[in-house]
Amino acid sequence: MAAGGAAPGRCARAAPHAGGRLRALHVSLAAGRSGTAVLCAETRGCTGLALGQHGAVRLPGRRPLSPEPAASAVSPGFKRGADDMADFDCCAGAVVSVAHQVQVLASAALLPADVRAFLDRAEQDNVEFGSAWYDNLCQTVFSGDAGVRFYVLRTDSTVRAVLPLLARRAPGGWQLYSLSNFYTTLYQPVMDPTLQAADLLPLLHTLRREFPWLGSFNLSPMDLDGHPYRILLGALRLAGWLPYEFFCHGNWYHLAEPSWAEYLAARSGSLRSTVKRMGKKFAADGGVLELVTAGPTLEQAIQAYQQVYAGSWKRPEPYAGFMPGLIRSCARQGQLRLGLARLKGVPVAAQVWIVAHGRAAIYKVAYHEDYKQYAAGTLVTALLMEQVIDVDRVKEIDYLIGDDAYKKTWMAHRRERWGIIAYNPRSPRGLIGLAREIAARNAKLWLQRWRSWRQTVTVPTTKQGLKQ
């Protein structure tokens, strides 16, 4: 599990087993001069889909789908009637419209080169947004899973957004989740910074078309202040969904000082004493600290990490291939910082840090419980802190998931990760989920009010008070 453990609440909820059939789907949306948006779907045996003048979505030979306002299905600035030319580029008498295409891919291995490049640019913000992350996640966690989807939105063939999702069939309809699990410390659809909420509507219409009776949309954990978070909320509302926000977990991080010496001087006296005192004791008893980034010792380091993890307090990895795959992937890209503590040759503590684009993520920490008197985990943290501050020159160090007390010892700042759950009121599953959501939130609100009221009530404790 990533540093700090799994996120509580919906962030930690496991989705049911996948079902359904894979298919490739391409959708293009073009705004016509009359003000009617036409959505054309191209797939095996697929027919046309049109957003008519009144927003009714109809598929020939099938019952009407949920109506949406036609104006919301086109790019911002599109106007009806006499002003409908405002959304077109006119050159030498020719009228050129803006076309949107949505491509659906069932595996990270199928991602085209331009989509991979788009994701890899986003990796500069966080390694978990990049193609290498999804390659390992799909190979080791979701291998052969029929619910994996990558929705790619293009505008005039240029990639504008990538939305990785996981589909699950449930009684009464389908549910969509972020393509993530407890290994994911931050999920974020990758979007062009100029993308607006209305631009995502072709993609949301594609979801509804591929999954009949789609009931809910659950995405977490996300950056509350991020552009994709706000855009998704707006797009879901425009498409007629009812979204709610929920807290996932706290996230402790630190803006690095110019040097390790300055960083350590700003920490508590007890931490400085522990590092100095236990460092001497550990070395005197035959202990050594080791840093592995790549090379011929990598596989031995992976085995040492697994040995420490097996002897720690943490539960066994449910997907045994994920961490070795992540370590090898990071090593290939020069991002791995694997710290080890060995006592007379026996690995007793291990940590996996990922360093990329000025940011160090403390991804996995573990120590063998039989050797906890040496505080080897603290010594490995100090080793890696010195490395990322003095050598890698990172700007930010991130402890990822959780509000564990020890993280405050090393970090100075806290932020929160939130999620979005949205319900489709046009499906039975969506209505059931919506009713439960409203009931749970109202119950929590009334409980808070009751507790607040109880605190204001004075309970008489004397006989005189009881008589009154």
* Domain co-membership, 231 together with 369: no
Domain boundary among 367, 394, 421: 394
Question: Using 50, 70 and 90 to split pLDDT, how confident is the model at 353?
Answer: very high
Q: Over the stretch 96-112, which tens digit does the pLDDT of each residue have?
A: 346 889 999 999 999 99
| CATH code of the domain covering residue 306 | 3.40.630.30
- Between the two ends of the chain, the Cα-to-Cα distance in Å is 58
Closest to 103 (Cα-Cα) out of 154, 138, 145: 154
- DSSP for 190-221, please give it: EE-TT--GGGGHHHHHHHHHHSTTEEEEEEEE
* Domain co-membership, 64 together with 94: yes
The type of residue at 166 is L
Q: Over the stretch 53-68, which tens digit does the pLDDT of each residue have?
A: 223 222 223 333 333 3
Closest to 4 (Cα-Cα) out of 303, 322, 414, 331: 414
Torsions phi, psi of 58, nearest 5? -130, 140
Question: Using 50, 70 and 90 to split pLDDT, how confident is the model at 445?
Answer: confident
The domain total for the chain is: 2
DSSP code for 285: T
Identify the H or E element spanning 381. Answer: helix 376-386
User: Per the structure block, which two tokens stand in for 138?
Assistant: 């799909």
Report d(CA 421, CA 426) in Å as an integer: 16
pLDDT at 447 (0 to 100):
82
- Other CB atoms within a 10 A radius of the CB of residue 228 amount to 22
Q: What is the mean pLDDT of the chain?
A: 81
Q: Over the stretch 213-267, which tens digit does the pLDDT of each residue have?
A: 899 999 999 999 999 999 999 999 999 999 999 999 999 999 999 999 999 999 9
Domain that holds residue 146: 9-249
CB 25 within 8 A of CB 104: yes
Residue 135 inside a domain? The answer is yes
- Is the Cα dihedral 285, 295, 129, 244 positive or negative? negative
Least confidently predicted of 43-52, 104-113, 292-301, 309-318: 43-52
Q: Over the stretch 410-429, which tens digit does the pLDDT of each residue have?
A: 999 999 999 999 999 999 88
Residue 227 inside a domain? The answer is yes
pLDDT at 26 (0 to 100):
38
* Domain co-membership, 297 together with 245: no
pLDDT at 11 (0 to 100):
54
Least confidently predicted of 75-84, 110-119, 376-385: 75-84
